[in-house]
C-alpha cells in the first residue's frame, strides 16, 4: 500500500480482508455481490447457503462492521446488500502502489473503470 496511507486506512483494509477470511462470510459476500443492486433477505441468504439463521447473524454483523455490506429494513425483513463503494476502496488500496506507482503497467488488474458501474 502507499507509503502515505494512514494507519486508519491500513486498519480499515485489514478489517475488510479479515471479514472475508472466513468461508461463510466469503460465500455470503459473493452471494450479495451477485444479487446487486437488490440485495437479499437474511432468511434467503440462510437458506441459499445452508447456514443456521443464528450463525448467519453473527457473520452478517462482522461483514456489516467492516462496511462491506449494509442492511435496510423492508417490512419485517432485513435486506442485505454489498457495499460497492467500500469494495472499490479496498481494491484500490490493494493495488495502488502497483509497479512502483506506475498503474499503467498493471492495467489488467483493474476490473472495471468506476464509470462502468455494474449496478
The tens digit of pLDDT for each residue in 44-78 reads 999 999 999 999 999 999 999 999 999 999 999 99
DSSP-assigned beta bridge partners for residue 81: 70
The predicted structure's pLDDT at residue 93: 85
Does residue 80 contact residue 71 with C-beta atoms inside 8 Å? yes
CATH topology assigned to domain 7-109:
Arc Repressor Mutant, subunit A (1.10.10)
Q: What are phi and psi of 84, to 5 degrees?
A: -65, -30
Q: Where are the domains of the chain?
A: 7-109
Predicted TM-score (pTM) of this structure: 0.83
Q: Can you count the helices (H) and strands (E) in the chain?
A: 6, 3
The whole-chain average pLDDT of the chain stands at 87
Grouping H, G, I as helix, E, B as strand and the rest as coil, residue 40 is strand
Amino acid at each position: 500500500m502507499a507509503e502515505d496511507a494512514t494507519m486508519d486506512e491500513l486498519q480499515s483494509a485489514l478489517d475488510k480482508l479479515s471479514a472475508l477470511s472466513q468461508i461463510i462470510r466469503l460465500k455470503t459476500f459473493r452471494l450479495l455481490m451477485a444479487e446487486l443492486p437488490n440485495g437479499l433477505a437474511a432468511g434467503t441468504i440462510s437458506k441459499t447457503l445452508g447456514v443456521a439463521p443464528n450463525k448467519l447473524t453473527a457473520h452478517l454483523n462482522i461483514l456489516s462492521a467492516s462496511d462491506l455490506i449494509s442492511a435496510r429494513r423492508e417490512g419485517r425483513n432485513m435486506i442485505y446488500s454489498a457495499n460497492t463503494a467500500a469494495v472499490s476502496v479496498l481494491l484500490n488500496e490493494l493495488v495502488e502502489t502497483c509497479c512502483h506507482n506506475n498503474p499503467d503497467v498493471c492495467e489488467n488488474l483493474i476490473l472495471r473503470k468506476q464509470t462502468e458501474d455494474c449496478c
